[in-house]
Structure 1
């Protein structure tokens, strides 16, 4: 007489059995899934926030352009502060691929105050900078309030505050500089490619000479070049600005600074991903612990199923499926939680929300791997129980 073959468990049967095991102990299942969810949420949120930051940087660079170069005096052979020649700006404008060039000059030995009654030592760390009229277009700045300097106001005691300077000084109509009141005619927005302007009080070139004893030397020259020729222009700017001493000229590309900050953030992101992986590992251990206890508590069920003809393979499959379902529930919750965290944080920073599809797929894939590994040992242990032993100890 042929021995009947055991019926095969269909996927719906496995889902029903796994769901029954979780429903019978809901609090334990929720706590175990929570460990997985925290790990996946941390990893998805870190990747999402990092991607959102990158998208914001790309958006800023697309708007501001990566073709701006910054020229400033370096140091002499003796270690003293160098200066740019008076004709350096006009020479730079003659370079073929240069689209525009403008300059600012630091007005030394001047301090800015809200009032003439503030002690001299309380300067607030603000600088006075002489600016040319085409500065805004070249550095990609915008006015947050008021108007920019023009041919008339650039000759009189009128100033424009940088974004940081405006925050420190507050909403005031005038500032006190070197014994004279100056009218505030505007406030700049934050300048991403020239952050040194944020804490500056900008005054017209002629007014700085007439009222503050400005020597007219260029402190910084900003240039815009044809995008495809930026590196070539950068290579010749030093020799162009100061042919006699090109080594005394510093040339930089401000967009590289933003990219470098992004690279530094990437290292921090890797650290956070590591912490998320640790949380995921802890969650996997929680799933394994839950499944081991479940096997111990369900010996009678295992023995009954074995006595009714269930094979060891079916018992193994049942408990592995239960572990997979438990981990998957945590993974889905973690992906949702990570997306919510990313959305809230990106919205607070005015970033576009970006959660890469590979992060979602990777998170769910990691939960399945964790669930399979965590449930394997308890499943094997359950399958090894003999029916009589399981019924006797159940």
Structure 2
């Protein structure tokens, strides 16, 4: 406190001394109560920290996962289309024409077509001793050598089917099928029991995010499927790779081209749309968690307000003494408002740090690129200060309005 020089011994014309509080003194005075009650201050700031940490972590994790998913979509491409047998008007499963592959290849803009057929009456087993009902959810599909190119798939081990091996009891496993069957390596003794026949495993595919049904399948060639497994020549699903600039046009004509007589029984889907939909789902989930973070922040603000009200009641004697020595109401209000803002600043800074740490740990565990929105960093800190300021406003005004005579009675 300083007395402003006036006309008579440091007093103004009215005879009342003017009190001044320097900005440099505001922080030490405002944090006096926090330094005296450190444990209570830490617990009060923790409520704000939890709310801000939840908001920053949700935004950071959501942005990182979305970036990873969009990157995956870009790598896999959005020009893959699938054509599958749908349902007729009676609800029965329709059948794709046998010449559907040849017809689709004639469509302008189509780069490749890979036909496949699920052999619904056949299952795959590790040995011939496994009960028939224990299928493990795996399917047997017939295909040809064009499948990896159309799906942009890679062989993890061994080799894929070719014109020679497709005619023999040779099988290639999707990634999930190999995991389910417990096959981690391939040698001359690795065989599977399919349709009352032994098939030699020649390869294992890498995961195919755009074709999860292939991941869960055992793949055999069309010739051996016709000879041993009852393949009738009709495909059940075709994978079509179109030029990027012709995807929409190709998608619009695939149904009539596949089955001109009954185009309504043909299902045409772009698998990348399902991955893109996951981005929207992630955003919806983020909104829910942001709401929970806002609730935690509100609870933290109420905690700060409660602590500040208690602090005013506990320090009535200090307030009365300062007022008696010339402190203005604005100075008392500024002291307690500063205390509230300091609490919120510590909570906001700690919350931002915790949120960044959670995002970093989760992103590294999932193999994502760490992306934390800049607005989440400065916005989280600003919101913490706003909540702290609002929470401390009423206690500060209450302290300022406290009459010095009433306050001094508690000394």
TM-score class, shorter-chain normalisation, is over 0.9
User: 2:43 — aligned with what?
Assistant: 31
User: 2:267 — aligned with what?
Assistant: 250
User: 1:78 — aligned with what?
Assistant: 90
Give the Cα separation in 1 of the matches to 2:157 and 2:25: 68
**Maintained 8 Å contact 2:330/2:400:** yes
Give the Cα separation in 2 of the matches to 1:150 and 1:186: 12
Select which of 299, 308, 311 maps to 1:294. Answer: 311
Residues 213-235 of structure 1, C-alpha deviation per residue, up to 9 Å, x if partnerless?
21121111111112222112111
**Does 289-298 or 73-82 show the bigger shift?**
73-82
Q: How does 1:303-382 map to 2 (within 5 A)?
A: 303-382=320-399
**Maintained 8 Å contact 2:226/2:232:** yes
User: 1:109 — aligned with what?
Assistant: 121
**Does 59-68 or 94-103 show the bigger shift?**
94-103
**Does 102-111 or 300-309 show the bigger shift?**
300-309
Shift of 1:349: 1.7
Give the Cα separation in 2 of the matches to 1:189 and 1:23: 60
Query: Normalising to structure 2: TM-score of the pair?
Result: 0.92
Stretches of structure 1 that go unaligned for 5 or more consecutive residues are none
Residues 158-192 of structure 1, C-alpha deviation per residue, up to 9 Å, x if partnerless?
11111211111002721111221111122112211
Give the Cα separation in 2 of the matches to 1:232 and 1:332: 52
Give the Cα separation in 2 of the matches to 1:58 and 1:17: 52
User: 1:236 — aligned with what?
Assistant: 253
User: 2:69 — aligned with what?
Assistant: 57
Give the Cα separation in 2 of the matches to 1:14 and 1:98: 73
The answer to whether structure 1 residue 134 and structure 2 residue 146 are counterparts is: yes
Select which of 123, 133, 137 maps to 2:135. Answer: 123
Stretches of structure 2 that go unaligned for 5 or more consecutive residues are 1-6, 185-189
Give the Cα separation in 1 of the matches to 2:159 and 2:33: 70
User: 1:66 — aligned with what?
Assistant: 78
The answer to whether structure 1 residue 176 and structure 2 residue 193 are counterparts is: yes
Select which of 20, 23, 33 maps to 1:7. Answer: 20
User: 2:3 — aligned with what?
Assistant: none
User: 1:164 — aligned with what?
Assistant: 176
Give the Cα separation in 1 of the matches to 2:206 and 2:318: 70
Secondary structure at the counterpart of residue 68 of structure 2: helix
Do the aligned partners of residues 14 and 152 (structure 1) sit closer, same or farther apart at CA in structure 2, a change above 3 Å counting? farther
The answer to whether structure 1 residue 42 and structure 2 residue 54 are counterparts is: yes
Secondary structure at the counterpart of residue 116 of structure 1: coil
Select which of 279, 290, 298 maps to 1:262. Answer: 279
Shift of 1:368: 0.8
Shift of 1:4: 4.4
Shift of 1:236: 1.0
Secondary structure at the counterpart of residue 393 of structure 1: coil
Residues 311-339 of structure 1, C-alpha deviation per residue, up to 9 Å, x if partnerless?
11111111111111101101111111111
**Maintained 8 Å contact 2:320/2:405:** yes
Shift of 1:118: 1.1
**Maintained 8 Å contact 1:328/1:364:** yes
Shift of 1:116: 1.1
Give the Cα separation in 2 of the matches to 1:259 and 1:309: 66
Shift of 1:8: 4.0
Shift of 1:247: 0.9
Residues 110-150 of structure 1, C-alpha deviation per residue, up to 9 Å, x if partnerless?
11111111111211121000112121121122222222222
**Bigger Rg over Cα:** 2
**Maintained 8 Å contact 1:9/1:314:** no
**Maintained 8 Å contact 1:69/1:223:** yes
Query: Normalising to structure 1: TM-score of the pair?
Result: 0.96
Secondary structure at the counterpart of residue 210 of structure 2: coil
Secondary structure at the counterpart of residue 160 of structure 1: strand
Give the Cα separation in 2 of the matches to 1:286 and 1:145: 59
Select which of 270, 290, 294 maps to 1:273. Answer: 290
**Maintained 8 Å contact 1:67/1:225:** yes
Give the Cα separation in 2 of the matches to 1:138 and 1:20: 71
**Maintained 8 Å contact 1:288/1:378:** yes
Residues 258-314 of structure 1, C-alpha deviation per residue, up to 9 Å, x if partnerless?
122222232222111111111111111111111111111112221222122211111
